[in-house]
Structure 1
Amino acid sequence: MIPVYSVAQVRVVESQEIARRGDATLMKLAATALASEAVAMLDEHPLTTQSLVVGLIGPGNNGGDGLYALAQLAELGCSILALQCTDKIHAEALADYTKAGGTLLPLSQGQDALANASLVIDAIYGIGYRPGADLPNLPRGARVLACDVPSGLDAATGLADDDVLLAERTLTFGAMKTGLLIGDGPLVTGELSVASLDFDFSEQNAQTQLVDENVARELLDQHRSWRDAGRHKYQRGVLGLIAGSELYPGAAQLTARAAVNCGVGLLRTHVPEEIAGLVAAAAPETVPLDDEQIREALSSARRYLHGRGAKISAWAIGPGLDSRTPPTGIIADVFTSRQPAVIDASGLELVPTGPSEQPRVLTPHAKELRMLLRRAGVSVTTEEIATDPVRWTRWAALAYNAVVLLKGPTSYIVAPNGSSLVVCHGAAQLATAGSGDVLTGILGYLLSDSSITGVSGLQTVSNSRMMELTACAASIHGYLGRITAKDGTVSASRLIDRLPAAMKEFGF
């Protein structure tokens, strides 16, 4: 996992590293990483003519990083140009850049070059940005690589100016910074990566841990075995879905299709009779589940929770339920079991507060989190949640004794003990009707498969593993949004159609 630190923590460690290794050494290390990232981006869109890389250069070390990187790119055969965006400039880095044959122009004389640039390196401010500073206007469609932090973004708060330089990719130095992941951060950073530069954060406590796609793959592989190929359908996860209503028939269909397209061994559905035909038509692989069969499954679970003897190994509850007339009795019975459950949408209005033996994941968006907190006696506004999402998600996790996933461009996953993970996908296209139902199907499947959870027999899934799998589901969901958006607009149905290919990318 990738530790996330505050800007204040990064500044402390950065000062220590400068004292130990020297300013110029660190800048040149950062520049090497930046130049490598630039080459990777240029290789994604190879040109027949020589690539022009334009650097937007600011006054401090961030500008120095950019100048040193441009000098290295010149040695690799790129055509380079530096545009001075502020009154001051890093003198030593400028000398190195000039020695490499680079030209420095004022920003006002560089508009034609920006229009023709293969890549723009934003090296103006970094973590030293202050709101209200002048920022250049870039041509529409410019490919931007941000050096450390996109100019116009406050790396401490995640607040961005209206004219922030939107990055296609951001390479941040030392460590992942909080402001890149909260507020406006995920909307302006593009693809995020970290060049650690061997900074020593051993004396700092990370604020949270970031789970990216590579980490998600590692987490999913923890308990997989070559023997999994010999399992039958009941061993590959049996998910019980309680969802849908005559008022909202589509949600149950979407969640069912998502679970099936993930590859669940067996999906059993408890839906109102009025929409049973619709669900069966949407996902003919499903098997209906009535009240008596649920009680039988819960009774069986007292003897065997997971694997060969489990009639249901996990639950997904809530999508499309009519909150006015939900099947409260049978859901209450499920809430007393020790089988893992993901609870979404109207199911969040039914989940009880307080201690519970059931491992649960609650998946609210901000308004639903406000509702959960008010049910627990905590009054808060959505604006307050947006300002400090981890704090308020932590309150809900404690109140409901559950792992809570706060959904958004950055997803926050918090356990009752206060530990947290974060997933940042920045796929705005996922803000579409039914997208959350797809996420519920993905997570429901992950919780149902014992080769993923790593538990069998009468073991229960730990909150730490519930957190990890929730982060994995959010990561798959974010990846799914990005690949779906590449060739058109996004809808929940299109997400589901792409789900088998996405699952394959994560090792399924």
Structure 2
Amino acid sequence: MIPVYSVAQIRAVEAQENSKRGETSLMKQAASHLASTALGMLAENTSAEPAFVVALIGPGNNGGDGLYALAELQLQKISTLALQFHEQVHAEAAAAYQAAGGTMLDLSDGECELAKASLIIDAIYGLGYRPGSALPVLPANARVLACDVPSGLNPDTGVAEDGVLLAERTLTFGALKSGLLAIDGPLVTGDITVADLEFDFSSVEAGTQLVEETATRELLNQHRSWRDAGRHKYQRGVLGLIAGSDLYPGAAQLTAKAAVACGAGLLRTHVPESIQSMMALSVPESVPLDDDQIKEALSSSRRQIHGKGAKIKAWAIGPGLDGRTPPTGAIADVFASPQPAVIDASGLEVVPAGPSEQPRVLTPHAKELRMLLSRAGVKITPDEIAQDPIRWTRWAALAYNAVVLLKGPTSYIVAPNGDSLMVSHSAPELATAGSGDVLTGILGYMLSDSSLTGTEGLRTVPNRRMMELTACAAYIHGHLGRVTAADGTVNASRLIENLPKVMKQFGF
């Protein structure tokens, strides 16, 4: 997992490093990484035209990084041009660039050169960007490498201006900044690479951690064993699904299909009688579950005996329930059990706040988070959630004694003790009807599989493990969105079609 810091923390550590190693030395080190990244991007070009790199140079150290990087590219026989976005530039870096044979022009004099560039380096503001600062207009489809932070993006909050310079790649220095991953950040940064520059962060504590592909694989493999290959269906995860209504029959089917596509050993479905035939046709692998069997399953699980409804290891509750109709009493029985559950959609309207022995994951989007907080007596606005998502997700996790996953381009996963993780999947295509139902199926399956939870028998799944598996499910869901979007538009049914091959990529 990758630690994520605030701008204030980054600046404090950067000041320490400058005092120990010297500002110019650090700037040249950062510039070397920037030049190397630029060369890598140029190597991806298929054009026969000679490479031409243009850098937009701001007045501070960010501009200095860009100038030193251009100097390195000049020395490697790459044609370059520095366009000054401000009359002041870093004097020492400018001298080094000109000594390497580089040319500097005011932006107004060389703006036409931007259309000819193979690559544009955005070295205008970095951490020094302030909302409302001037921004240039780049040619459509320009390839942009952002130096530290795309210009126009607030590096602390993640709020971007309309004219933000959209980056294909962002090379950020020292560590990940919170604004690169929050709100608009994932939509404007492109691929993010961290050049740590050997900064020492031992004196500060990261506000959260980013779960990326490597961490996802490590977390999934934490309790896996070679013996898993010999498991029978009841050992491969038995999930109970309470979902669906006459008004929303499709949501239950999407969640059921997703759980089966993940490889669940057995799926038990509690849906209204009126849609049972639809469920049987669309998900023939599922086995119906009535109220009496749910009571028996809950009782049997406590005593570890076998029965018609026994062996259910986890629950998924909510997709497609009709909030206008009082929910079945079986939901209250499940909420009182010690078996883990993922609760989504209309299930969030009935989940009780306060202490509970059940390990739960609540999966709201921002509007649903506001509703959850309102039910707990906390009145906030959508803007307040957008400006500080981790804070308000922590409030909900504490109020409901549950792990809470706030869904969005960046997802925030927070445990009741305040620990948090982030997943940034940059897959806006996932904002489509039914996508959340698919996520519920993925996470429900994971919570049902003891080789993933690491618990057997009557042992309760710890909140830390619930949070980790939630982050894994969110990462896989985001990856699934990218895979699906690669060859067409995205809808929930297409996500499910691609789910088996994506799960296989993660060792399922």
CA distance in 1, matches of 2:30, 2:443: 38
Asked whether the 8 Å contact 1:149–1:180 carries over to 2, the reply is yes
Asked whether the 8 Å contact 2:298–2:310 carries over to 1, the reply is no
The structural deviation recorded for 1:280 is: 2.3
SS in 1 for 2:194: strand
Aligned residue number for residue 264 of structure 1: 264
Aligned residue number for residue 3 of structure 2: 3
The structural deviation recorded for 1:256 is: 1.1
Aligned residue number for residue 103 of structure 1: 103
Is 1:235–2:235 an aligned residue pair?
yes
User: Residues 100 and 326 (structure 1 numbering): CA distance in 2 closer, same or farther, change over 3 Å?
Assistant: farther
The structural deviation recorded for 1:45 is: 4.2
Is 1:448–2:448 an aligned residue pair?
yes
Residue identity in the other structure for 1:272: P
The structural deviation recorded for 1:449 is: 1.2
Alignment of 1:72-111 (within 5 A): 72-111=72-111
Asked whether the 8 Å contact 1:305–1:458 carries over to 2, the reply is no
The structural deviation recorded for 1:33 is: 2.0
Alignment of 1:139-154 (within 5 A): 139-154=139-154
User: Residues 321 and 137 (structure 1 numbering): CA distance in 2 closer, same or farther, change over 3 Å?
Assistant: same
Aligned residue number for residue 128 of structure 1: 128
User: Residues 124 and 310 (structure 1 numbering): CA distance in 2 closer, same or farther, change over 3 Å?
Assistant: farther
Asked whether the 8 Å contact 2:296–2:310 carries over to 1, the reply is no
Alignment of 1:313-462 (within 5 A): 313-462=313-462
CA distance in 2, matches of 1:503, 1:362: 22
Is 1:282–2:282 an aligned residue pair?
yes
Out of 10-19 and 85-94, give the one that drifted further: 85-94
User: Residues 353 and 42 (structure 1 numbering): CA distance in 2 closer, same or farther, change over 3 Å?
Assistant: same
CA distance in 2, matches of 1:469, 1:278: 31
CA distance in 2, matches of 1:483, 1:461: 31
User: Residues 71 and 503 (structure 1 numbering): CA distance in 2 closer, same or farther, change over 3 Å?
Assistant: farther
Residue identity in the other structure for 2:189: T
User: Residues 260 and 71 (structure 1 numbering): CA distance in 2 closer, same or farther, change over 3 Å?
Assistant: farther
SS in 2 for 1:361: strand
CA distance in 1, matches of 2:287, 2:143: 49
The structural deviation recorded for 1:75 is: 4.3
For structure 2, the 5+ residue unaligned runs are: none
Deviations 1:264-294 (A, max 9, x none): 2222211112112222222222222222222
Asked whether the 8 Å contact 2:208–2:421 carries over to 1, the reply is yes
Residue identity in the other structure for 1:382: P
User: Residues 7 and 264 (structure 1 numbering): CA distance in 2 closer, same or farther, change over 3 Å?
Assistant: same
Asked whether the 8 Å contact 2:208–2:420 carries over to 1, the reply is yes
**Which portions of structure 1, spanning 4 or more consecutive aligned residues, are displaced by more than 6 angstroms?**
none
The structural deviation recorded for 1:310 is: 6.3
Aligned residue number for residue 292 of structure 1: 292
Aligned residue number for residue 117 of structure 1: 117
Residue identity in the other structure for 1:405: L
The structural deviation recorded for 1:374 is: 1.4
SS in 2 for 1:4: strand
For structure 1, the 5+ residue unaligned runs are: none
Deviations 1:39-90 (A, max 9, x none): 3333444433333222111111111111222233344453322222111112
Question: TM-score, with normalisation over the residues of structure 1?
Answer: 0.95
CA distance in 2, matches of 1:89, 1:353: 56
SS in 2 for 1:53: strand
CA distance in 2, matches of 1:305, 1:212: 39
Aligned residue number for residue 155 of structure 2: 155
CA distance in 2, matches of 1:400, 1:441: 22
Aligned residue number for residue 65 of structure 2: 65
Out of 350-359 and 29-38, give the one that drifted further: 29-38
User: Residues 329 and 26 (structure 1 numbering): CA distance in 2 closer, same or farther, change over 3 Å?
Assistant: same
CA distance in 1, matches of 2:45, 2:336: 55
Is 1:250–2:250 an aligned residue pair?
yes
Out of 225-234 and 414-423, give the one that drifted further: 225-234
SS in 2 for 1:209: strand
Asked whether the 8 Å contact 1:27–1:65 carries over to 2, the reply is yes
Residue identity in the other structure for 2:136: P
SS in 2 for 1:110: helix
SS in 2 for 1:391: helix
Out of 407-416 and 92-101, give the one that drifted further: 92-101
The structural deviation recorded for 1:161 is: 1.6
Aligned residue number for residue 23 of structure 1: 23
